[in-house]
Structure 1
Protein backbone atom coordinates (compact mmCIF):
# COMPACT_ATOMS: atom_id res chain seq x y z
CA UNK A 1 0.00 0.00 0.00
CA UNK A 2 1.24 3.47 -0.85
CA UNK A 3 2.36 5.42 2.19
CA UNK A 4 1.43 8.91 3.29
CA UNK A 5 3.22 12.17 2.59
CA UNK A 6 3.86 14.30 5.67
CA UNK A 7 5.22 17.84 5.52
CA UNK A 8 6.44 19.61 8.66
CA UNK A 9 7.59 23.13 9.32
CA UNK A 10 10.82 23.65 11.26
CA UNK A 11 10.95 24.78 14.88
CA UNK A 12 11.62 28.33 16.07
CA UNK A 13 15.02 29.63 14.91
CA UNK A 14 17.50 31.27 17.29
CA UNK A 15 17.01 34.81 15.99
CA UNK A 16 14.95 37.60 17.52
CA UNK A 17 12.08 39.20 15.58
CA UNK A 18 11.77 41.96 18.17
CA UNK A 19 13.44 44.66 16.06
CA UNK A 20 12.38 47.35 13.60
CA UNK A 21 14.47 47.54 10.44
CA UNK A 22 14.55 48.98 6.94
CA UNK A 23 13.91 46.90 3.82
CA UNK A 24 17.66 46.83 3.15
CA UNK A 25 18.32 45.63 6.70
CA UNK A 26 15.60 43.02 6.26
CA UNK A 27 17.71 41.44 3.51
CA UNK A 28 20.57 41.05 6.01
CA UNK A 29 18.19 39.84 8.72
CA UNK A 30 16.74 37.17 6.40
CA UNK A 31 20.25 35.97 5.52
CA UNK A 32 20.97 35.53 9.24
CA UNK A 33 17.64 33.74 9.63
CA UNK A 34 18.69 31.26 6.94
CA UNK A 35 21.96 30.67 8.79
CA UNK A 36 20.27 30.15 12.17
CA UNK A 37 19.67 26.85 13.84
CA UNK A 38 16.88 26.23 16.33
CA UNK A 39 16.51 28.17 19.55
CA UNK A 40 18.05 26.17 22.46
CA UNK A 41 14.65 25.89 24.15
CA UNK A 42 12.95 24.29 21.15
CA UNK A 43 11.69 20.70 21.39
CA UNK A 44 9.50 18.80 18.91
CA UNK A 45 5.94 17.86 19.87
CA UNK A 46 5.29 14.21 20.62
CA UNK A 47 2.99 13.91 17.62
CA UNK A 48 5.78 14.83 15.22
CA UNK A 49 8.19 12.46 16.94
CA UNK A 50 5.65 9.65 16.44
CA UNK A 51 5.24 10.53 12.76
CA UNK A 52 9.00 10.54 12.25
CA UNK A 53 9.32 7.20 13.98
CA UNK A 54 6.68 5.66 11.71
CA UNK A 55 8.08 7.15 8.49
CA UNK A 56 10.13 4.94 6.21
CA UNK A 57 11.88 8.02 4.82
CA UNK A 58 12.69 11.37 6.45
CA UNK A 59 13.99 14.23 4.31
CA UNK A 60 15.15 17.76 5.04
CA UNK A 61 15.97 21.11 3.52
CA UNK A 62 19.66 22.04 3.64
CA UNK A 63 19.00 25.05 5.88
CA UNK A 64 20.13 24.58 9.52
CA UNK A 65 16.70 25.12 11.07
CA UNK A 66 15.22 22.30 8.96
CA UNK A 67 18.19 19.97 9.48
CA UNK A 68 17.99 20.43 13.26
CA UNK A 69 14.21 19.96 13.18
CA UNK A 70 14.62 16.60 11.44
CA UNK A 71 17.39 15.60 13.86
CA UNK A 72 15.24 16.41 16.88
CA UNK A 73 12.14 14.73 15.45
CA UNK A 74 14.09 11.52 14.78
CA UNK A 75 16.14 11.75 17.97
CA UNK A 76 19.27 11.74 15.81
CA UNK A 77 18.80 7.99 15.40
CA UNK A 78 18.74 7.86 11.61
CA UNK A 79 20.27 9.40 8.54
CA UNK A 80 18.22 12.25 7.09
CA UNK A 81 19.21 13.28 3.54
CA UNK A 82 19.18 17.06 3.04
CA UNK A 83 18.60 18.59 -0.39
CA UNK A 84 18.53 22.26 -1.49
CA UNK A 85 15.42 21.57 -3.58
CA UNK A 86 13.51 21.75 -0.28
CA UNK A 87 14.68 25.25 0.78
CA UNK A 88 12.12 27.99 1.38
CA UNK A 89 10.58 30.04 -1.42
CA UNK A 90 12.48 33.34 -1.79
CA UNK A 91 11.71 36.44 0.28
CA UNK A 92 13.63 39.24 -1.47
CA UNK A 93 13.71 42.55 0.43
CA UNK A 94 11.27 45.03 -1.13
CA UNK A 95 12.77 47.96 -3.07
CA UNK A 96 11.52 50.51 -0.53
CA UNK A 97 13.35 53.59 0.86
CA UNK A 98 15.20 53.45 4.16
CA UNK A 99 12.95 55.88 6.02
CA UNK A 100 10.34 53.12 6.49
CA UNK A 101 11.03 50.65 9.29
CA UNK A 102 8.99 47.54 10.09
CA UNK A 103 9.38 44.35 12.08
CA UNK A 104 10.84 41.34 10.21
CA UNK A 105 7.48 39.57 10.16
CA UNK A 106 5.84 42.60 8.57
CA UNK A 107 8.57 42.85 5.95
CA UNK A 108 8.06 39.15 5.31
CA UNK A 109 4.38 39.74 4.48
CA UNK A 110 5.24 42.63 2.14
CA UNK A 111 8.02 40.63 0.51
CA UNK A 112 5.83 37.58 0.00
CA UNK A 113 3.06 39.62 -1.61
CA UNK A 114 5.45 41.36 -4.00
CA UNK A 115 7.22 38.11 -4.86
CA UNK A 116 3.85 36.41 -5.50
CA UNK A 117 3.00 39.25 -7.88
CA UNK A 118 6.18 38.61 -9.84
CA UNK A 119 8.86 40.70 -8.11
CA UNK A 120 12.20 38.90 -8.29
CA UNK A 121 15.44 40.91 -8.56
CA UNK A 122 18.40 39.44 -10.48
CA UNK A 123 19.64 36.21 -8.96
CA UNK A 124 16.38 35.49 -7.10
CA UNK A 125 14.19 32.55 -8.07
CA UNK A 126 10.98 33.75 -9.75
CA UNK A 127 7.62 32.47 -8.56
CA UNK A 128 7.20 30.47 -11.80
CA UNK A 129 10.54 28.77 -11.18
CA UNK A 130 9.57 27.95 -7.62
CA UNK A 131 6.32 26.33 -8.78
CA UNK A 132 8.42 24.23 -11.15
CA UNK A 133 10.60 23.21 -8.22
CA UNK A 134 7.50 22.36 -6.19
CA UNK A 135 6.22 20.10 -8.98
CA UNK A 136 9.53 18.20 -8.86
CA UNK A 137 9.35 18.03 -5.07
CA UNK A 138 5.86 16.53 -5.23
CA UNK A 139 7.06 13.90 -7.69
CA UNK A 140 9.96 12.99 -5.41
CA UNK A 141 7.69 12.72 -2.39
CA UNK A 142 5.28 10.52 -4.34
CA UNK A 143 8.17 8.25 -5.36
CA UNK A 144 9.23 7.88 -1.72
CA UNK A 145 5.62 7.33 -0.61
CA UNK A 146 5.39 4.36 -2.98
CA UNK A 147 7.62 2.57 -0.43
CA UNK A 148 5.99 3.86 2.77
CA UNK A 149 5.34 7.02 4.75
CA UNK A 150 7.67 9.93 3.94
CA UNK A 151 8.24 12.95 6.19
CA UNK A 152 9.70 16.20 4.83
CA UNK A 153 11.04 18.76 7.30
CA UNK A 154 11.01 22.05 5.42
CA UNK A 155 9.49 25.54 5.54
CA UNK A 156 6.19 27.31 5.96
CA UNK A 157 5.46 28.83 2.57
CA UNK A 158 7.12 26.06 0.60
CA UNK A 159 4.96 23.53 2.45
CA UNK A 160 1.89 25.59 1.52
CA UNK A 161 2.92 25.43 -2.14
CA UNK A 162 3.49 21.67 -1.84
CA UNK A 163 -0.01 21.41 -0.34
CA UNK A 164 -1.50 23.08 -3.42
CA UNK A 165 0.45 20.79 -5.75
CA UNK A 166 -0.43 17.56 -3.92
CA UNK A 167 -4.13 18.42 -3.69
CA UNK A 168 -4.22 19.21 -7.41
CA UNK A 169 -2.60 15.82 -8.03
CA UNK A 170 -5.38 14.03 -6.16
CA UNK A 171 -3.83 13.59 -2.72
CA UNK A 172 -6.16 14.17 0.23
CA UNK A 173 -5.08 16.25 3.21
CA UNK A 174 -6.41 14.19 6.12
CA UNK A 175 -4.78 15.94 9.06
CA UNK A 176 -3.31 19.32 9.88
CA UNK A 177 -1.76 20.23 13.21
CA UNK A 178 -0.50 23.63 14.33
CA UNK A 179 -1.78 25.69 11.42
CA UNK A 180 1.32 27.13 9.80
CA UNK A 181 3.25 27.73 13.01
CA UNK A 182 6.61 26.29 14.00
CA UNK A 183 6.55 22.47 14.31
CA UNK A 184 3.24 22.28 12.41
CA UNK A 185 2.55 19.43 10.00
CA UNK A 186 0.14 18.19 7.33
CA UNK A 187 -0.64 14.60 6.36
CA UNK A 188 -1.76 13.49 2.88
CA UNK A 189 -3.30 10.20 1.79
CA UNK A 190 -2.64 8.94 -1.77
CA UNK A 191 -5.27 9.17 -4.51
CA UNK A 192 -7.79 6.35 -4.56
CA UNK A 193 -6.61 4.70 -1.36
CA UNK A 194 -8.15 4.56 2.09
CA UNK A 195 -5.93 3.77 5.05
CA UNK A 196 -7.22 0.77 7.00
CA UNK A 197 -8.53 1.32 10.52
CA UNK A 198 -5.65 0.85 12.95
CA UNK A 199 -2.95 1.61 10.40
CA UNK A 200 -2.13 4.89 12.15
CA UNK A 201 -1.30 3.04 15.34
CA UNK A 202 0.59 0.29 13.52
CA UNK A 203 2.76 2.86 11.73
CA UNK A 204 3.89 4.30 15.04
Structure 2
Protein backbone atom coordinates (compact mmCIF):
# COMPACT_ATOMS: atom_id res chain seq x y z
CA UNK A 1 0.00 0.00 0.00
CA UNK A 2 1.20 3.52 -0.68
CA UNK A 3 1.97 5.85 2.20
CA UNK A 4 0.97 9.48 2.60
CA UNK A 5 2.92 12.40 3.99
CA UNK A 6 6.10 10.41 3.52
CA UNK A 7 9.55 11.87 3.93
CA UNK A 8 12.95 10.81 2.67
CA UNK A 9 14.92 8.73 5.15
CA UNK A 10 18.53 9.96 5.47
CA UNK A 11 21.27 7.36 5.13
CA UNK A 12 22.76 6.58 8.55
CA UNK A 13 26.45 6.42 9.29
CA UNK A 14 27.90 2.93 9.57
CA UNK A 15 28.72 3.71 13.22
CA UNK A 16 25.20 4.85 14.15
CA UNK A 17 23.53 2.61 16.72
CA UNK A 18 19.87 2.00 15.77
CA UNK A 19 17.19 3.52 17.96
CA UNK A 20 14.36 1.46 19.43
CA UNK A 21 11.03 0.82 17.72
CA UNK A 22 8.01 1.22 20.00
CA UNK A 23 4.79 -0.28 18.66
CA UNK A 24 1.88 1.35 20.50
CA UNK A 25 -1.83 0.66 20.16
CA UNK A 26 -4.26 3.54 19.72
CA UNK A 27 -6.62 4.70 22.47
CA UNK A 28 -10.15 3.45 23.06
CA UNK A 29 -12.49 4.12 20.09
CA UNK A 30 -15.87 5.84 20.50
CA UNK A 31 -17.93 2.68 20.05
CA UNK A 32 -19.42 0.63 22.88
CA UNK A 33 -18.56 -3.07 23.00
CA UNK A 34 -21.29 -3.86 25.54
CA UNK A 35 -23.56 -5.45 22.95
CA UNK A 36 -24.28 -8.92 21.56
CA UNK A 37 -24.31 -9.22 17.79
CA UNK A 38 -24.96 -11.65 14.96
CA UNK A 39 -22.30 -12.13 12.28
CA UNK A 40 -23.94 -9.58 9.97
CA UNK A 41 -24.33 -7.11 12.82
CA UNK A 42 -20.68 -7.55 13.70
CA UNK A 43 -19.71 -6.82 10.10
CA UNK A 44 -21.55 -3.47 10.40
CA UNK A 45 -19.97 -2.91 13.82
CA UNK A 46 -16.48 -3.40 12.39
CA UNK A 47 -17.16 -1.03 9.50
CA UNK A 48 -18.12 1.65 12.04
CA UNK A 49 -15.10 0.84 14.20
CA UNK A 50 -12.81 1.40 11.23
CA UNK A 51 -13.98 4.97 10.59
CA UNK A 52 -14.63 6.32 14.09
CA UNK A 53 -12.22 8.29 16.24
CA UNK A 54 -11.46 8.08 19.96
CA UNK A 55 -13.81 8.06 22.91
CA UNK A 56 -13.61 11.61 24.32
CA UNK A 57 -11.96 12.37 27.63
CA UNK A 58 -9.03 9.93 27.46
CA UNK A 59 -5.60 10.76 28.83
CA UNK A 60 -2.64 8.92 27.28
CA UNK A 61 -0.39 7.20 29.83
CA UNK A 62 2.53 9.33 30.99
CA UNK A 63 5.07 6.68 30.04
CA UNK A 64 3.94 6.78 26.41
CA UNK A 65 3.87 10.60 26.50
CA UNK A 66 7.52 10.64 27.59
CA UNK A 67 8.53 8.17 24.88
CA UNK A 68 6.92 10.39 22.24
CA UNK A 69 8.61 13.50 23.64
CA UNK A 70 12.03 11.84 23.27
CA UNK A 71 11.55 9.92 20.02
CA UNK A 72 13.04 10.99 16.73
CA UNK A 73 10.04 9.95 14.64
CA UNK A 74 6.33 9.54 15.37
CA UNK A 75 4.20 7.68 12.84
CA UNK A 76 0.54 6.63 12.75
CA UNK A 77 -1.77 4.68 10.52
CA UNK A 78 -4.31 6.57 8.44
CA UNK A 79 -7.29 5.37 10.53
CA UNK A 80 -8.90 8.18 12.53
CA UNK A 81 -8.47 6.43 15.87
CA UNK A 82 -4.72 6.23 15.27
CA UNK A 83 -4.45 9.80 14.02
CA UNK A 84 -6.31 11.17 17.05
CA UNK A 85 -4.13 9.06 19.35
CA UNK A 86 -0.99 10.47 17.74
CA UNK A 87 -2.38 14.00 17.98
CA UNK A 88 -3.06 13.52 21.69
CA UNK A 89 0.57 12.50 22.18
CA UNK A 90 2.28 14.79 19.66
CA UNK A 91 1.17 18.05 21.33
CA UNK A 92 1.76 20.05 18.19
CA UNK A 93 4.76 18.24 16.72
CA UNK A 94 4.49 16.82 13.24
CA UNK A 95 4.01 13.12 12.60
CA UNK A 96 3.80 10.93 9.52
CA UNK A 97 0.75 8.90 8.47
CA UNK A 98 1.05 5.63 6.55
CA UNK A 99 -1.76 3.51 5.19
CA UNK A 100 0.55 0.48 5.28
CA UNK A 101 0.00 0.49 9.08
CA UNK A 102 -3.80 0.04 9.06
CA UNK A 103 -5.35 -2.96 10.81
CA UNK A 104 -5.71 -6.29 9.03
CA UNK A 105 -9.35 -7.03 8.03
CA UNK A 106 -11.80 -8.88 10.28
CA UNK A 107 -14.62 -10.41 8.20
CA UNK A 108 -16.64 -12.66 10.53
CA UNK A 109 -17.39 -16.32 9.77
CA UNK A 110 -20.74 -16.78 8.01
CA UNK A 111 -22.48 -18.29 11.00
CA UNK A 112 -26.30 -18.36 11.44
CA UNK A 113 -28.08 -15.32 12.84
CA UNK A 114 -28.96 -17.07 16.10
CA UNK A 115 -25.24 -17.11 17.01
CA UNK A 116 -24.83 -13.89 18.98
CA UNK A 117 -21.64 -12.84 20.72
CA UNK A 118 -19.85 -9.78 22.03
CA UNK A 119 -17.66 -7.80 19.60
CA UNK A 120 -14.61 -9.08 21.49
CA UNK A 121 -15.57 -12.70 20.83
CA UNK A 122 -16.49 -12.00 17.21
CA UNK A 123 -13.11 -10.33 16.78
CA UNK A 124 -11.41 -13.44 18.15
CA UNK A 125 -13.25 -15.88 15.89
CA UNK A 126 -13.00 -13.62 12.84
CA UNK A 127 -9.23 -13.46 13.35
CA UNK A 128 -9.00 -17.25 13.75
CA UNK A 129 -10.97 -17.76 10.53
CA UNK A 130 -8.84 -15.19 8.68
CA UNK A 131 -5.50 -16.46 10.03
CA UNK A 132 -5.97 -20.24 9.80
CA UNK A 133 -8.70 -20.74 7.18
CA UNK A 134 -8.00 -17.87 4.75
CA UNK A 135 -11.48 -16.38 5.25
CA UNK A 136 -11.12 -12.91 3.73
CA UNK A 137 -14.25 -12.28 1.61
CA UNK A 138 -12.21 -10.58 -1.11
CA UNK A 139 -10.35 -8.38 1.34
CA UNK A 140 -6.67 -8.57 2.21
CA UNK A 141 -5.49 -12.14 2.81
CA UNK A 142 -3.13 -13.24 5.57
CA UNK A 143 -0.31 -13.65 3.05
CA UNK A 144 -0.90 -10.15 1.69
CA UNK A 145 -1.01 -8.70 5.20
CA UNK A 146 2.24 -10.47 6.09
CA UNK A 147 3.91 -8.87 3.07
CA UNK A 148 2.57 -5.49 4.19
CA UNK A 149 3.84 -6.09 7.73
CA UNK A 150 7.29 -6.87 6.35
CA UNK A 151 7.22 -3.66 4.30
CA UNK A 152 6.25 -1.75 7.46
CA UNK A 153 9.08 -3.41 9.39
CA UNK A 154 11.53 -2.39 6.66
CA UNK A 155 10.30 1.21 6.79
CA UNK A 156 10.54 1.37 10.59
CA UNK A 157 13.99 -0.22 10.55
CA UNK A 158 15.21 2.43 8.10
CA UNK A 159 13.88 5.16 10.40
CA UNK A 160 15.43 3.62 13.51
CA UNK A 161 18.80 3.21 11.79
CA UNK A 162 19.19 6.98 11.91
CA UNK A 163 19.95 6.44 15.61
CA UNK A 164 16.72 7.80 17.14
CA UNK A 165 13.72 5.97 18.61
CA UNK A 166 10.59 5.50 16.50
CA UNK A 167 7.09 5.41 18.03
CA UNK A 168 4.25 3.87 16.02
CA UNK A 169 0.56 4.54 16.82
CA UNK A 170 -1.30 1.76 15.06
CA UNK A 171 -3.43 -1.31 15.78
CA UNK A 172 -3.36 -4.32 18.06
CA UNK A 173 -3.14 -7.26 15.67
CA UNK A 174 -1.21 -5.59 12.88
CA UNK A 175 1.33 -4.38 15.45
CA UNK A 176 1.67 -8.05 16.41
CA UNK A 177 2.36 -8.88 12.76
CA UNK A 178 4.92 -6.07 12.47
CA UNK A 179 6.58 -7.42 15.60
CA UNK A 180 6.94 -10.85 13.98
CA UNK A 181 8.49 -9.22 10.91
CA UNK A 182 10.89 -7.18 13.06
CA UNK A 183 12.07 -10.34 14.83
CA UNK A 184 12.82 -11.92 11.45
CA UNK A 185 14.93 -8.84 10.70
CA UNK A 186 17.05 -9.23 13.82
CA UNK A 187 15.07 -7.19 16.36
CA UNK A 188 14.16 -8.50 19.81
CA UNK A 189 11.21 -7.67 22.05
CA UNK A 190 12.79 -5.84 25.02
CA UNK A 191 9.56 -5.41 26.99
CA UNK A 192 5.82 -5.48 26.45
CA UNK A 193 2.62 -4.10 27.95
CA UNK A 194 0.48 -6.45 25.88
CA UNK A 195 -2.11 -5.25 23.39
CA UNK A 196 -4.61 -3.18 25.40
CA UNK A 197 -5.45 0.37 24.37
CA UNK A 198 -2.45 2.75 24.68
CA UNK A 199 -0.11 -0.21 25.37
CA UNK A 200 3.48 -0.35 24.10
CA UNK A 201 5.89 -3.03 22.95
CA UNK A 202 9.54 -1.99 22.65
CA UNK A 203 11.86 -3.62 20.10
CA UNK A 204 15.63 -3.24 20.09
CA UNK A 205 18.19 -4.42 17.58
CA UNK A 206 19.52 -7.79 18.72
CA UNK A 207 23.28 -7.80 19.34
TM-score under structure 1 length normalisation: 0.90
- Deviating 4+ runs (over 4 angstroms): none
Quote how far apart the aligned CAs of 1:156 are: 0.4
The equivalent residue for 1:197 is none
> In structure 2, what is the Cα distance between the partners aligned to 1:27 and 1:35?
13
For 1:72-91, list aligned pairs within 5 A.
72-75=88-91, 77-91=92-106
Structure 2, unaligned runs of 5 or more: 1-16
C-alpha distance in structure 2 between counterparts of 1:100 and 1:118, whole Å: 20
**What does residue 57 of structure 2 align with?**
41
Q: CA RMSD in A?
A: 1.1
Q: Aligned partners of 2:136 and 2:176: how far apart in 1?
A: 23
Once residues 121 and 31 of structure 1 are traced to their aligned partners in structure 2, the CA distance between those partners, rounded to angstroms, is 15
Match of 2:78 in 1: 62
Residue 14 of structure 2 aligns with which residue?
none
Tell me what 1:145 maps to. Answer: 160
| Structure 1 residue runs without a partner (length 5+) | 193-204
Distance 2:133 2:153 in 1: 23
* 1:17 equivalent among 27, 33, 41: 33
CA shift, 1:167, in A, is 1.6
Q: Any conservation in 1 of the 2:130–2:136 contact (CA below 8 Å)?
A: no
- Distance, in Å, in 2 between the alignment partners of 1:85 and 1:118 is 23
